[in-house]
Structure 1
């Protein structure tokens, strides 16, 4: 019963998304916005798996997203557009980058880990800007969305909505199952006290590295969907600012559970959408609101009901 109550916010969000097309969100602009939010939520959930589960705060997570997106670009340029080929390549490319860079970064911790992931992310960004064959700094426009079994189901907005919802649900379930498994318990033990975990016979390095690779592969899947959602890929997808946004989504939602990343991603996208239509210099107001959220929502959006209940009880 306690587990069901803990997962209720995530189930409510996913259920609302399933019903959204019939609750006034069936217009093309609304489906496009929801698809973007769901894809970013996938990346945020995979990052929350790292931050909350393994205690690894990465500022290079957008690079995994970018590797998945650029896998779509490279195969699109080669006229390979079958999803059963493109998606595994996108996941493998992102997971491979995570494996190579994580092998170095996982040897550090704290601020050093943050800075190394930031450096690797920026290396990926500048590499993407140098790919003149794929648009360089100007980006690359896909010829068409990826096909699935020869059909263009990803081009239909309603179908794409449910594909994104299915991918988000699967990402959340995979991360939840991993955290609830023996592997997840070891990760949390290593996060709490690495020396004690090592004394018990669990070497922190391989567990953390595997978690980093899994999170990278999930972000690569999000990159595959992101490229198809926008039909355009640019190096800006890999920039450290995008990594910062993903990290803030996790913090805004609350790092106490994966459902926090879901709430944070949708809160972030909604706030960005509303402010950008109200004021030309909306990023100023956006920054102020984000600071206020960090200061006055220590438990994130997921912890808001409990915070309000404590205040009512104290009053």
Structure 2
């Protein structure tokens, strides 16, 4: 660039208020930590029933999964319909690498995230050369390829899936323990949320925000947009692999449905339902989506309609999206604006 040409103004990370970068992230972390501590104390004191504890673990795992997609959709504007591939690969890697004797928790965790990141690197290197609906279709195609590898071969037990004989452990701590599993998933959620909050406030996050708004202008300003998008794609894949590892440890079994397009659609719905462009939106969306499925499939709530919970869930999502175009986060924002003097 010509030295006399003024450099472009620094980009503001997505979601940060003008003149106060990071304020929203600070408020959110301050809100998240007490809630996480309260849940941890309750679980540690066995105040939660096994059902509620298991449900919270499921919600936290799905929150990590949704946060990983939020990095692509909300920060970089990359709508992927194949994100479940990295989720499933992380889960399968954990089971296949553990063997019959189990394995070291840290080693298996790194292997799961690494395998998902490697596949994300290969998928991203090719799919990021396309845009718009073509990008969506290419990511879907790669996810379906991975799905059929596990579904139609004996690599992971075929369509029946494969069981985890012994859950991972480190020293005397084993994920066979409900308490250890709970704290491990909680720590992973806090780590993921904190990492993405730092990414949003960094130069890398600001570049992703600029790419989402106007990639051509970012390229003209001298940014190598392809490299930024590929890095975000790989990081999102690794975090999805983290969620997959935790899911395998929780359920003790994995099957090809984890890689299906239905799973990719579910996590995309979580992000949209909560509100794109907000980390808390991904978490809220995962919570609400999971609770809706639990409630609508319970006969005590809907009676005979519970047998058709997919229909009622679909209608509920349509209502939410139609009435809340900015997601559930938009409701909180409107209420906070009304409350101001």
- Output the TM-score relative to the length of structure 2: 0.86
Mapped contact 1:65–1:223 kept (Cα < 8 A): yes
Q: Which structure 1 residue ranges, 5 or more long, are not aligned?
A: none
Contact 2:102-2:167 at 8 Å conserved across structures: no
> How do residues 99-110 of structure 1 correspond to structure 2 at under 5 angstroms?
99-110=121-132
Look up the match of 2:237: 216
Match of 1:53 in 2: 75
Query: Counterpart in 2 of 1:303?
Result: 330
For 1:17 and 1:269, how far apart are their aligned partners in 2? 17
Q: Is the 8 A contact 1:68 1:220 kept in 2?
A: yes
The two structures, once aligned, show a CA RMSD in angstroms of 2.0
Match 1:83 to one of 87, 94, 105: 105
Query: CA distance change for structure 1 residues 86 and 52 in 2, over 3 Å: closer, same or farther?
Result: same
Deviations 1:52-71 (A, max 9, x none): 11111111111101110010
SS in 1 for 2:223: coil
Query: Match for residue 92 of structure 2?
Result: 70
Please tell me whether the aligned partners of residues 68 and 90 of structure 1 are also in contact (alpha carbons under 8 angstroms).
yes
Aligned residue for 1:14, secondary structure, equals: helix
Q: Specify which of 297, 304, 318 is matched with residue 291 of structure 1.
A: 318
| CA distance 1:296–1:310, change in 2 (3 Å) | farther
Please say which of residues 293-302 and 222-231 is displaced more in the overlay.
Answer: 293-302
CA contact (8 A) 1:7 1:259 kept: no
* 1:125-274 alignment, distance < 5 Å: 125-149=147-171, 151-274=172-295
CA contact 1:84–1:148 (8 Å) conserved in 2: yes
- Cα deviation for residue 281 of structure 1 reads 1.0
Shift of 1:156: 1.1
Unpaired runs of 5+ in structure 2?
1-19, 300-305
- In the alignment, is the contact (CA less than 8 A) between 1:145 and 1:152 conserved in 2? no
1:186-234 Cα offsets, whole Å, 9 max, x none, are 1111111111111111011000000000010011111111000000000
CA distance in structure 1 between the partners assigned to 2:98 and 2:180 by the alignment:
21
Bigger Cα displacement from structure 2, 154-163 vs 284-293:
154-163
**1:27 match:** 49
Pairing partner for 1:119 from 133, 136, 141 = 141
Q: Aligned partners of 1:238, 1:209: CA distance in 2, in Å?
A: 21
Aligned residues: 312
CA contact (8 A) 2:100 2:166 kept: no
Deviation, 1:29, is 1.2
Q: Distance in 1 between matches of 2:176 and 2:163?
A: 15
**Contact 1:68/1:222 (<8 A) preserved:** yes
Larger Rg: 2
Query: Structure 1 residues 201, 58: closer, same or farther in 2, change over 3 A?
Result: same
Alignment CA distance shift 1:9-1:56 (3 Å)? farther
Distance 2:262 2:229 in 1: 24
Are residues 29 and 238 of structure 1, via their aligned partners in 2, closer, same or farther at CA, if it must alter by over 3 Å?
Answer: same
Using the TM superposition, name which of 299-308 and 274-283 deviates more. Answer: 299-308
CA offset digits 1:120-140 (Å, max 9, x no partner): 111111011123253210111
